[in-house]
Amino acid sequence: MSLPRLLIDGDTLKLEEILQVARHAVKVELAPEAASRVRASRALVDRVAAGDTPSYGINTGFGTLAEVRIDKKDLRELQRNLILSHAAGVGSPLPLPEARALLLLRCNVLAKGFSGIRSETLELALEMLNRDVVPVVPERGSVGASGDLAPLAHLALVFIGEGEAFYQGERLPARVALERAGLQPVVLEAKEGLALVNGTQAMCAVGTLLQLRSEALADLADVAGAMTLEGLLGSHKPFIPEIHDVRAHPGQKACAAHLRRLLAGSDLVESHANCSKVQDPYSLRCMPQVHGSAREGLSFSRRILEVEVNSATDNPLVFVDSERIVSGGNFHGQPISLALDVAAMALTQLSAISERRVEQLVNPALSGLPPFLAKNSGLNSGFMIAQVTSAALVAESRVLSHPASVDSIPSSAGREDHVSMGMTAALKARQVSEFTRSCLAIELLVAAQALDYRQPVKAGRGPQAAYELIRSKVPTMEKDRELHRDIEAVSKLIDSGELLETVHAATRE
């Protein structure tokens, strides 16, 4: 079956389209207007390379070696040496989806026509995506100054037949991977090596995928909170529109509206309409305020990423209209670093309030339910350690929420004297998203047990749908068992998207 086509033009790429390419769900092609820009940009670079005027990165060295003039006969070797010397990354390879996103984003910035790349080099990159040749890119080694130099150099290694690549999931020497895919490496010409390694695409690749995951987790936090609220016989009144209209933060209003949709049709709320309880704890009552502020943070990080993935982040930039090749600083990752720090903090507050709701569920003094929701408690410990695990994940997330964007270690003999640590911010935020997913899986699991005690009275449409799906995979805990298996089962429902899809279907108006 042929894949749908995605045209790359350097200007209109959407975050959701990056996810499609990361999943190898579309075929990528260069838009005709982009191809014309690329050819024009390259023609200008060729004219400069043929002359005698020094131009950074074309016939000079790099960084603090920018004043060293390179002979014309050595220009190819200069570009090759740049890639080899900058491929100094360490650590685990980027997961395949992130590496595919990285390759796509590099193609997109080259398609803008400000890089001076040759058409055949860009076409090789696009065909690597289409034929499932994915470079092995170590995830550590970038300080986000001239962009993600080390990760991008590892990406570029494969273009010249060096390094390693995955072909259809198998890790191979790059030349072997290219050969199996029916592709040939290129010999880089003037400026091409520099065009491949300057930019913020590694931090954006990791950041885009965690952004989309984070937005789903924000929705899921509302579902988990709604389940807990129903299990604890909490009030729906704190979510009425009037409260949120008089403090009109968009994220708060969106969360409150989502909670109202989730909780609609609840029989449980009617079952305690005349109870003596006046107020719920903040972790229930203030969900719109806390979840809503996380949504605001994620809205900020989305806006920054949407701009960055369609931005020219090379150095120097090739301006065909004015026939100038100019050095600047668009490769600096500070906007992305700050945005992804905010995303990590937003996720951490979602996990922190989730853990407090789990405490409300398992503590009999707070819930009115059996200790740790265990049947025959004492003999059984129930969900005692589930709350401990959640607390451990929240504690580590708080450490990881220390911002990378305020840090800087000068490099390149002081030429790069302020750096963004953007890739550090991306990797930290990615880890926090993993922890947040696990915290929400724990809450969903524990809240389902609380709803068991409320049967046969049904929760609101959203919590009830989530409860029934969870119970189709994870039975009620009648006696102690290995909880990690249950947590993993719920985590799979989250990661696959099935849980949110099921809830959305049940609450669609």
Query: What DSSP string describes 413-457?
Result: TTTB-S---HHHHHHHHHHHHHHHHHHHHHHHHHHHHHHHTTTTS
How many CA atoms lie within 13 Å of 8's alpha carbon, on the beta-carbon side? Answer: 30
Active-site annotation holds for 282: no
- The answer to whether the CB of 131 falls within 8 A of the CB of 168 is no
For residue 326 the two structure tokens come to 């100019």
| Interior/surface letters 200-239, b for 16+ CB within 10 angstroms, e for the rest | bbbbbbbbbbbbbbbbbbbbbbbbbbbbbbbbbbbbbebb
Tokens 């009037």 map to which residue?
242
Look at the alpha carbons of 410, 414, 417, 421 in this order and tell me if their dihedral is positive or negative: negative
Q: Helix, strand or coil for residue 326?
A: strand
For residue 45 the two structure tokens come to 């670079």
Tokens 């450490």 map to which residue?
399
For residue 188 the two structure tokens come to 């880089």
DSSP character at residue 436: H
Number of helices and strands in the chain (H, E)? 21, 9
For residue 144 the two structure tokens come to 């986000």
CA distance 148 to 425: 12
Residue 452 phi, psi dihedral angles, 5° rounding = -55, -40
Q: What are the helix (H) ranges across 239-333?
A: 241-245, 250-263, 268-271, 282-285, 287-308
CA distance 38 to 52: 23
Tokens 């696990």 map to which residue?
438
How many CA atoms lie within 13 Å of 332's alpha carbon, on the beta-carbon side? Answer: 16
In angstroms, the Cα distances linking 275 to 263, 298, 367 are 18, 37, 14
| End-to-end CA, the chain | 35
Q: Which of 56, 282, 453, 467 is catalytic?
A: 56
Closest by CA to 387, choosing from 350, 442, 343, is 442
Largest CA distance in the chain: 88
Burial tier of 508 (Cβ tally within 10 Å: 0-12, 13-18, 19+): exposed
Nearest-5° angle of CA 171, CA 175, CA 176? 55
Active site residues: 56
